Amino acid sequence: MTDISNIDSKKKAKPVISDAGYPLPIELRPIWRIALMCLAISIVGSDNSLKLNKVRVFLWMLIRPKKWDGYYESLHAYNSSVFSMSSDKSTDVAIEIAIAKGFVKLESDSLVLDSEGYRLIDLISEIDIFKNEVEFVESIKNKVTDKYIKSLWGK
């Protein structure tokens, strides 16, 4: 058994404080997904409302910029393949946080921009970020139809 009465005289651990951040991949950062979600809703949605399945599809594509050309070609029927999608837990977490923090609200089967979502869209516009994402969404927004989404889900 260890004698703890003498613990102060033994070697002590020294805490190290660092400004180095913890490397968290951007695709796991919820605010990034929330910003993309709000962008998709504001660009594609009617009355700033977009069906939840469409939000998921747009986020799936937006977070994978290296595959945008393939998505564009598939959506514009330049190639007949339909890309594959799977469940994305990080997107579901971002949606839950966005609802809880007032970026969006859930109405029926749609996400609707809420007060914080409008503020975020204004900030994105003001500091002029997500230019490529906006351009990509604009180029495909009319092609991501309910019929296309059903083909993704295999229905």
Please, are residues 113 and 104 in contact by the beta-carbon 8 Å criterion? yes
Number of domains in the chain: 1
Residue 15 belongs to a domain? no
Residue 32 belongs to a domain? yes
Residue 13 belongs to a domain? no
- pTM listed for this prediction: 0.80
Residue 10 belongs to a domain? no
pLDDT tens figures, 86-116: 778 889 999 999 999 999 999 999 999 999 9
Residue 3 belongs to a domain? no
pLDDT tens figures, 17-56: 666 666 667 666 899 999 999 999 999 999 999 999 999 9
Residue 111 gets which letter from DSSP? Answer: E
pLDDT of 28 reads: 67
Residue 86 belongs to a domain? yes
Q: Which domain holds residue 111?
A: 27-153
pLDDT of 21 reads: 62
Radius of gyration, alpha carbons of the chain: 22
Residue 9 belongs to a domain? no
